[in-house]
Structure 1
Amino acid sequence: MIVNACLRDGRGGSPTFVVADGDFSDAERCEMPGFFGTSHAVFIGPGGVLRFFTSEGELPGCGHGTVAALAVLGPGEHTLLAGGRTFSGTAVEVPGGVEAVFDPGPVQVRPATGAEGDAVVRALGAGGSCVVATLGRPRMLVEVSDGLAELAPDLQRLQEATDSFGLLGCYVYRAGDRFAARMFAPSIGVPEDIANANSTACLAAHLGADVTVDMGDSLGQPATVIARAGQVGGLAAVS
């Protein structure tokens, strides 16, 4: 089924294919996002085991995919296993869908090196302060003061930069009472992600504060991710 994860005001969100895991090869799992017109596919196995795939391969974790899986699992507390980690998630029925949140796990944050920051900012065409945050895999967080909506990164150059430093991708954000962000991850077959909950959890850890982040506007799919009290998630609905 297709689940729209991290809706904003009941619309938009990131379409995610969710299915009970079966006797699929990994090659077949990689084909499913493209076949169903989604960036990611989530496979739910016995005991809450989650596996996440894009067209380029398996990921150790996927935040909006976890939100989508929780919406399918239904209301209640759930024990989940992904990327070798056991963690908790909660789904609550609300008007318009399911509010799903989960424990993203510990986040490590360090300043980006000069070489890392320079390479990524050149590919983006803009940028300010840069840190590298690791949650499952490292990714770069880049703060911009303006121009977020107009960003048009050189995706080939960005892929080369992130690959050279072992980064999942680049999460570019603008601070404010309500944050906005865009996530670029061409190395995993996702030029731009509609919603990225794990990177939003990384941002909350970096800032030491709860955040509400709007994403997806540049793709015509408004999405909102909330990170608060050590959990991250959003509203999801089965389409």
Structure 2
Amino acid sequence: MDGTDVMTVLVRACLRDGTGGSPTAVVLDDGRLSDAERRRLPVEHGTSHAVFLRIPDPAAGRAVIGMRFFTAEGELPACGHGTVAALAFLAGRAGTEGSYRATFRTGSRVFAGWAERHGAHMATAFDPGPVDLRPAGAVERDSVLGALGIAPEAAGTEVRVAGVGRERLLVPVAGRAVLEALEPDFERLRDACDRLGLLGAYVYSPPSPTGELAARMFAPSIGVPEDIANANSTACLAAHLAGRGIMGIAVDMGDAVGSPATVTATAHPGPSGPRIRVGGIAATA
């Protein structure tokens, strides 16, 4: 089957002040596409990621929507900005004027997402699931920080391995200027992440008293040297910062690749750790 035969809509996820964002291909998938064709679709549409939706028969009532994520390298277990894009597309398709709610199924879990129209844009949020956090081991720290060009002492003691579906490294730096100046060795970083089973490295500046900060996500192992917006890593950071009493963050991303984006996340007390809601503003491209 030719990928051009399926309905594909481009959505800009995690806009900042109504512009920029991460272009994401949202595809209505009836199951006829092969995985090789799914890998090709992001390339054909000039996006880093594509999200594939299986929408059940409307007669089934409020049914669960199947969702899969692909880059040119292959399938991902989760994609935060892909979920933001899917929510914006589905709310627009439903003609929602107020609040919209959907229930999604990925390979590993079922979860809820929400959208609300604001003019031409959709404000979205979803439940990324529980976040696993642990201190990074010495090999993880040394391998990834070296590839990023960050001295171990510059990252301090707060480097964490965090996971929602797949682990990645959370790396603090001293400020936005340090973040902007980073020039990772992508070949070395890919090798380190492949050996360690990491998705990539999410490097972030200190949060302001009101939770504003900046971040960059480097993920060459999935074919994305630098991600414009990474909502799941932002959810991981929100869970980490909740331990310091910071319960809401707004993270600027994408400036280094010419497409400003902002991802927001909140933390709420839960029985076994903070419950996170993450999302952003999105619009059809």
TM-score tier after normalising by the smaller chain length? over 0.9
Gaps of 5+ in 2: 1-8, 56-63, 268-275
* One-letter code aligned to 2:264: I
RMSD, aligned CA: 0.9
| Residues 148, 173 of structure 1: 8 Å contact kept | yes
* One-letter code aligned to 2:195: S
* One-letter code aligned to 1:150: A
TM-superposed CA distance for 1:207, in Å, is 1.1
**Greater RCO (Cα-Cα under 8 Å, separation 6 or more):** 1
TM-superposed CA distance for 1:95, in Å, is 2.8
State TM-score, norm by structure 2: 0.82
> Which residue does 2:40 correspond to in 1?
31
Residue 172, structure 1, aligned to residue 203, structure 2: yes
Residue 11, structure 1, aligned to residue 19, structure 2: yes
Matches within 5 A, 1:62-211: 62-74=79-91, 75=96, 76-126=100-150, 128=155, 129-146=158-175, 147-177=178-208, 178-208=212-242, 209-211=247-249
> Which residue does 2:284 correspond to in 1?
238
**Superposed CA offset, 1:188-239 (max 9, x none):** 0000000000000000001113211000000110000000142100000001
**Count of matched residue positions in the alignment of Structure 1 and Structure 2:** 239
> Which residue does 1:42 correspond to in 2?
51
TM-superposed CA distance for 1:39, in Å, is 0.1
Output the CA distance in 2 between the equivalents of 1:163 and 1:84.
22
Output the CA distance in 2 between the equivalents of 1:159 and 1:236.
30
TM-superposed CA distance for 1:89, in Å, is 0.4
Q: 2:78 aligns with which of 28, 39, 61?
A: 61
Q: Secondary structure at the match of 2:129?
A: coil
Q: Secondary structure at the match of 1:199?
A: helix
* One-letter code aligned to 2:236: C
TM-superposed CA distance for 1:58, in Å, is 0.4
Q: 1:21 aligns with which of 3, 25, 29?
A: 29
Output the CA distance in 2 between the equivalents of 1:210 and 1:105.
17
TM-superposed CA distance for 1:18, in Å, is 0.3
**Higher percent of residues as strand:** 1
Q: Secondary structure at the match of 1:148?
A: helix
Runs (4+) of structure 1 exceeding 2 A deviation are: none
Larger radius of gyration: 2
| Residues 182, 192 of structure 1: 8 Å contact kept | yes
Q: Secondary structure at the match of 1:228?
A: strand
Q: Secondary structure at the match of 2:181?
A: coil
Output the CA distance in 2 between the equivalents of 1:187 and 1:222.
23
Identity level (%): 57
* One-letter code aligned to 1:45: R
Q: Secondary structure at the match of 1:149?
A: helix
